[in-house]
Amino acid sequence: MPSVFETSPTATSITFITKSTWDRVVETLAPAQRKFVGASAFAAKPGSYLALPAPDGTIAQVLFGLEDDGARSRDLFRPGALPGLLPPGTYRFANAPHDARLAALAFALGCYRFARYRKADRPDVRLVPPEGVDATEIDRIADAAMLARDLINTPSNDMGPSELAAAAQALAAEFGASFACTIGEDLAKNFPLIHAVGMASSRAPRLIDISWGDPDHPKVTLVGKGVCFDTGGLDLKPSSGMLIMKKDMGGAANVLALARMVMDAKLKVRLRVLIPAVENAVAGNAFRPLDVFTSRKGITVEIGNTDAEGRLVLADALALADEEKPDLLIDLGTLTGAARVALGPDLPPFYTNDEALAADVARCAVKENDPLWRMPLWPPYDAWLDSKTATITNAPSGGFAGSITCALFLQRFVEHAKSWLHVDIYGWTPSAKPARPEGGECQSARAIYALLSERYE
């Protein structure tokens, strides 16, 4: 995406106002502008917008409302609404919003439009970088977020396992990373769970494997769930449940976005990206409830529900990642409805037994306005995974603590990594918010990138 930033001496000012600062701002306005404000019935409310005219008919300045400091509902991304409100031109912040860096990022993210299938012109606006804000870094993060959004928003007929692999290969080529892909029946021996989930589709499953960076640097491995469409398998979802299942590869999309940030910033890591890319389809050869498969790790898994497929494909990929004992192993996936019931679409839960890592993730999530909430790997619930036929089941009966039991399932496949982080994302914005249009979303990747930057820059 072209940079939203531009240096210009003639940029139009954006003045941020709040209820508590409004009277002081009004005093600085010319008499004619005060009359215009009154005639427009403008009020200093969050999200309110008014372009004040200059004597020559141009825009003298823009007023934009924010929440007061300390407001419980304060949205640091509210300036992301501006690109959809402003006429074409170049703008600058006349005064500081609550967080100038996040406001600039929100402005960039607010310029996103998904235009693959119909015309949707990107707002023709530019922003002079606020003082002290690294525009290159903001562009890096925004470009990665756009990649994740584009991948998730693309419907499954144009974003199957092969297309997801092509996107990953293009990213690898852009940054000189190595790329490998294991496809179809070649998965059956070494990645039986990935093969089982994807074998019913006419579009062959695959395991995408990208490596980048100096082998002597700390090993960071990212694993992303790439279920390009999820029917639920033989435990078929209702039509309402399938409606946005094109987003079920949101973990893969966000892992690729995170990898883009890491490689573009040239962080001092040896990065590996693993994406099991499958379609969970219905056919005569589909895997069935109560089937048993031996995973790559040797753990036998009984299928309690074919709609709990994401943890199956991640299990084999995590087992592969764990074999080389990475310093940090991270997996992202759109995994459980239970996480949405508990925390809603905007607040993904994360899991780790590394207390220092947990504290860093939580801190970076707040700093980046990329919300995450720690949930427990609660040992007593581990027994719920027991199976009478196999080592474990992928879907315990009872329906309690679904996100936690999913995390405990995945933990069985991580043994040697020094630290492991699991994030149960949604990857979707159900209704538009400033800087976050309805549709696919880059979720948790910005917070994790901030953590990796702190540790490995």
Which of the residues are catalytic? 237, 311
Count CB neighbours of 41 within 10 A: 7
What are the Cα distances from residue 426, in Å, to 7, 246, 337, 339?
37, 12, 9, 8
- Identity at 370, one-letter amino acid code: D
Q: With helix as H, strand as E and coil as C, how does 33-99 read?
A: HHHHHHHCCCCCCCCCEEEEECCCCCEEEEEEECCCCCCCCCCCCHHHHHHHCCCCEEEEECCCCCC
* Contact assessment for residue 259 and residue 294, using Cβ atoms and an 8 Å cutoff: no
3-state DSSP of 396-438: CCCCCCHHHHHHHHHHCCCCCCCCEEEEECCCEECCCECCECC
> Which strands form 125-127's sheet, in the order they lie side by side?
49-53, 59-65, 12-17, 89-93, 125-127
DSSP classification of residue 328: E
- Token pair, residue 167, equals 């996107």
Residue 182: partners with Cβ closer than 8 Å, 6 or more residues away: 190, 191, 206, 207, 209
CA distances from 378 to 205, 318, 360, 403 (A): 33, 20, 20, 11
Reduced to 3 states (helix: H, G, I; strand: E, B; else coil), residue 140 is helix
Q: What is the DSSP letter of 157?
A: T
Say if residue 259 is exposed, middle or buried (CB neighbours under 10 Å; 0-12, 13-18, 19+).
Answer: buried
> Residue 378 and residue 408: Cα distance in Å, rounded?
8
Quote the CA–CA distance of 276 and 226 in Å, as a whole number.
5
Determine the straight-line distance between the first and last CA of the chain, rounded to whole angstroms. 24
**Contact by Cβ (8 Å): 141, 104:** no
The answer to whether 425 and 371 are in contact (CB under 8 A) is: no
